[in-house]
Amino acid sequence: MTITFDKLPANLEELKAMPQASLNEPEYTAALFLAVMMHYPVNKEETYEMLEFLKGPYGLSTFEKQFLADRMADGQEYVVRSFFNGTSPENDYTPSMPYTVETERGFDQVIDGRMKIFISSSGADSKRHILLRHKPSTNQWFIEDQMLLAMIRAPKSSDPWA
């Protein structure tokens, strides 16, 4: 499924106003994770508030905040950008506009109320996944775990071998 964002959310209110914020499709939640993480270099606390919304009943743990800080340290926000269409190491992972993300369901099945959504990074050789959990009472999908922020090829501008 292709998810398109004309604008990325800058705070919780903007996030909740987006059509995908219904979270009634697992792909919406997966793509919104990336849209929200684009705000991390601007304001961590607003990003955490938005992630709390996407995590639902789980909430965002101190460990997860530390993990995000580690993954986003030293200008590594290009990892998040690499999941948007139009990016490549050669263009320093600059997304095309509007922002679009291609998602793919893992075998299109729900196991114990959970589903994996796979997303390609233009800096990695294999797709990465995010694990979502369904809440039947609201028909929403929330983030349980994500494996999207692993290291990828460096952007050309910071590659000493380019």
User: What CA–CA distance (Å, rounded) separates 159 from 130?
Assistant: 28
**Sequence ranges of the domains in the chain:** 2-156
Structure confidence by residue, pLDDT tens digits, 100-138:
999 999 877 888 999 999 999 999 999 999 999 999 999
Residue 152 contacts residue 79 (beta carbons within 8 Å): yes
What is the model's pLDDT at position 160?
A: 82
Q: Please state, in angstroms and rounded to a whole number, the distance separating the CA atoms of residues 140 and 23.
A: 5
- Calpha distance 154→152 (Å, rounded): 6
Q: In this predicted structure, what is the pLDDT of residue 142?
A: 98
